C-alpha cells in the first residue's frame, strides 16, 4: 500500500503514471464519461486548516469517480478535542477506503499514515503541498511547457517552494528559486532535492534576485507571502518581501510565451500585480481546475497499487 505524502516518495515514472491517469480521466470527464474507478468507496477528508480548492476538488473528484466524500473538520471529530492522531487514524481507516488530510505539521500527517490501514493523501501541510504540484505539472503539459522547462519560483521558501524542489529534482528540469534573505527553503529539503537531482539531471538554483531567476524562464510562479497562521507577521513580511512582486516588469524578463502559475488564493498588489494576474488568468484558473483532475489521477493510482 502506498501513501501520497510528498513527491520525494515517488520515482519519475510513478509521477508520470499518475499524471497520465489524470489526463485520461480529464478527457473522459470532458465527454461526460465519468468512469466509476472508485465505485462505492468512501474518502474521508480531514481538515485542520480551512480550504476552498482542496475541499471542492476532492469532494467533487471522489463523487465523479463513483464514491463519496466525507468532510471532517477538526470541530467535527475528537481530534479537535485532543484524541491522539494515531487513534483517529486507526478508527477512520477501518471505516473508509482512503483519507485526505489538510493539516499543519507534516509529522502529524506521517503519524496518521503509519497507523492507517488505507492510503493517505497530503492535502497540504506546512512542509509540502504535493497535490498542487501535480495540478501545476498537468497545466504545464497542456500549455506545452513540460519539455525541459526553466521554472522560476519567486517568493517565500515555503511548502510550495519545497514541493517545486521535489518535482523538479524528480523530473529533471531547471528550477530557479528567489527568496528574500532569511526566507530560504528548508535546508533538509534542499539537500534532498540536490541528491535527487544527481540522478535526474535537474538543475536547482537558489538565490535572492528575482530578476535573475525569472530571466528567460518558461514558467513563472509564486505564492502568498503570508500563509494561514502567519497573520501576526504581516507588517514585517511585507517589508522583507519588497521587490518580490511579480509585476509586468519582472514578468517581462521571462520568455515572451512564458506562463504564470499561482496556487491561489492570490493577493493582488502583494506577490502578484493585478495586471499580471489578469493577463494570465486563463492559465491560473486552468491550473485551479486541474486540482480536480490531478487528484483523481492520484486517488485511482493509489487504489490500483493497493490492489496489486
Catalytic residue, chosen from 237, 291, 295, 303, is: 291
**CB within 8 Å of 206: residues ≥ 6 apart:** 176, 177, 179, 184, 185, 190
Q: Which of 119, 47, 50, 127 is nearest to 80 (CA)?
A: 47
Q: Which of 204, 186, 205 is nearest to 195 (CA)?
A: 204
Catalytic residue, chosen from 132, 176, 218, 280, is: 132
* Secondary structure class of 204 (helix, strand, coil): strand
Q: Enter the C-alpha cell of residue 166.
A: 521535489
Answer yes or no: 106 catalytic.
Answer: no
Answer yes or no: 102 catalytic.
Answer: yes
Alpha helices, DSSP H only, in the chain? 12-30, 53-64, 85-95, 106-115, 130-142, 159-171, 187-200, 210-214, 234-240, 248-251, 274-279, 281-307
Catalytic residue, chosen from 55, 129, 162, 262, is: 129
**CB within 8 Å of 131: residues ≥ 6 apart:** 4, 54, 121, 122, 123, 124, 291, 294, 295, 298
Distance CA 267, CA 42 (A): 35
Distance CA 45, CA 61 (A): 12
Answer yes or no: 262 catalytic.
Answer: no
Catalytic residue, chosen from 53, 55, 102, 162, is: 102
Catalytic residue, chosen from 156, 218, 223, 303, is: 223
Question: Cβ of 28: how many Cβ atoms within 10 Å?
Answer: 16
Q: Which of 220, 202, 152 is nearest to 12 (CA)?
A: 202
Catalytic residue, chosen from 218, 237, 263, 293, is: 263
Report whether the peptide linkage leading into residue 207 is cis, meaning its omega lies within 30 degrees of zero. Answer: no
Distance CA 261, CA 174 (A): 16
Answer yes or no: 263 catalytic.
Answer: yes
Residues noted as catalytic: 102, 129, 132, 223, 263, 291
Amino acid at each position: 500500500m502506498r501513501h501520497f505524502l510528498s513527491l520525494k516518495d515517488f520515482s519519475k515514472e510513478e509521477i508520470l503514471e499518475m499524471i497520465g491517469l489524470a489526463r485520461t480521466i480529464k478527457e473522459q470527464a470532458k465527454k461526460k464519461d465519468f468512469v466509476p474507478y472508485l465505485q462505492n468507496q468512501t474518502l474521508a477528508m480531514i481538515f485542520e486548516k480551512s480550504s476552498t480548492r482542496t475541499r471542492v476538488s476532492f469532494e467533487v473528484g471522489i463523487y465523479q469517480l463513483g464514491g463519496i466524500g466525507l468532510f471532517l473538520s477538526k470541530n467535527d471529530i475528537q481530534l479537535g478535542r485532543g484524541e491522539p492522531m494515531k487513534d483517529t487514524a486507526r478508527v477512520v481507516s477501518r471505516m473508509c477506503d482512503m483519507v485526505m488530510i489538510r493539516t499543519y505539521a507534516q509529522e502529524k500527517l506521517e503519524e496518521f499514515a503509519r497507523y492507517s490501514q488505507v492510503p493517505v493523501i497530503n492535502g497540504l501541510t506546512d512542509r509540502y503541498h504535493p497535490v498542487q504540484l501535480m495540478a501545476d505539472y498537468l497545466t504545464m503539459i497542456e500549455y506545452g511547457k513540460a519539455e525541459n522547462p526553466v521554472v522560476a519560483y519567486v517568493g517565500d521558501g515555503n511548502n510550495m517552494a519545497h514541493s517545486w524542489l521535489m518535482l523538479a529534482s524528480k523530473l529533471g528540469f531547471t528550477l530557479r528559486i528567489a527568496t528574500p534573505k532569511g526566507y530560504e527553503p528548508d535546508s533538509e529539503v534542499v539537500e534532498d532535492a540536490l541528491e535527487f537531482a544527481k540522478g535526474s539531471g535537474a538543475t536547482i538554483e537558489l538565490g535572492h534576485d528575482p530578476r535573475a531567476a525569472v530571466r528567460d524562464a518558461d514558467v513563472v510562479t509564486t505564492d502568498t507571502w503570508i500563509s494561514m497562521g502567519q497573520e501576526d507577521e504581516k507588517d514585517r513580511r511585507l517589508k522583507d518581501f519588497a521587490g518580490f512582486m511579480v509585476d509586468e516588469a519582472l514578468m517581462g524578463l521571462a520568455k515572451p510565451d512564458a506562463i504564470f502559475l499561482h496556487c491561489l488564493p492570490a493577493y493582488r498588489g502583494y506577490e502578484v500585480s493585478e495586471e499580471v494576474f489578469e493577463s494570465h488568468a486563463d492559465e491560473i484558473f486552468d491550473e485551479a481546475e486541474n486540482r480536480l483532475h490531478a487528484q483523481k489521477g492520484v486517488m485511482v493510482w493509489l487504489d490500483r497499487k493497493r490492489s496489486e
